Amino acid sequence: MEVLVYLIPISLILGGLGLGAFVWTLKSRQYDDPDGDSQRILSDQYDDKPKQD
């Protein structure tokens, strides 16, 4: 049962990573325009560098 000592923290960290990722998506407004984002990925306009704001 010693394996629990590793497995439990690992499962908690993985869960925490998932939660962190979710919080990040929410904070960066990725749920504001679900329809638009699903279309934008199909855009045929390629950039050779990131957009400058």
Partner 1 sequence: MSATVQTSACPACAAAPLAQEVAGRAPSGGDEVMLSLPAIHCAACISGVERSLSAMPGVRRARVNLTLKRAMIDVDPGTEPATLAQALTSEGWEAHELDAATLAGTQVDRTGRDLLMRLGVAGFAMMNVMLLSVAVWSGAEAATRDLFHWISATIAIPTIAFSAQPFFRNAWTALRAARLNMDVPISLAILLAAGMSVYETAQSGEHAYFDAALSLTFFLLAGRYLDYRTRSVARSAAQELAALEVPRALRVAADGEAMVPISELAVGDMVRVLPGARVPVDGIVTSGASEIDRSLLTGESLPVATGEGAEVNAGEVNLTGALTVRVTAAGEDSTLHRLADLVAVAETTRNRYTSLADRAARIYAPAVHLLAFAAFVGWLWISGGDVRLSLNIAVAVLIITCPCALGLAVPAVTTAASGRLFKRGLLIKSATALERLAEVDTVVFDKTGTLTTGAPVAENLGDHARRDLELALALAEGSAHPLAQSLALAARTAGVRPANVTDLREVPGHGVEAVWQGQRVRLGRADWTGADAAAQTATYLQVGGRVLTFRFADRLRDGAEQAVAALQAQGMRVLLLSGDNATAVAELAGRVGIETFEAGVLPQDKAARVEALMADGRRVLMVGDGLNDTAALAAAHASISPASALEATRVVSDIVLLGGSLAPLGDTLATARSATRRIRENFGIAAIYNMIAIPIALTGFATPLAAALAMSGSSICVSLNALRLR
Interface residue list for partner 1 (CB under 8 A) = 1, 4, 8, 11-12, 15, 18-19, 22-23, 26, 31-36, 39-40, 42-45, 53
CB of 4 or CB of 50, closer to partner 1: 4
- 37, 30 contact by CB (below 8 A): yes
**Which residue blocks in the chain are alpha helix, DSSP H?**
3-27, 34-40
- 31, 25 contact by CB (below 8 A): yes
Least distance to partner 1, CB of residue 11, Å: 7
Least distance to partner 1, CB of residue 49, Å: 16
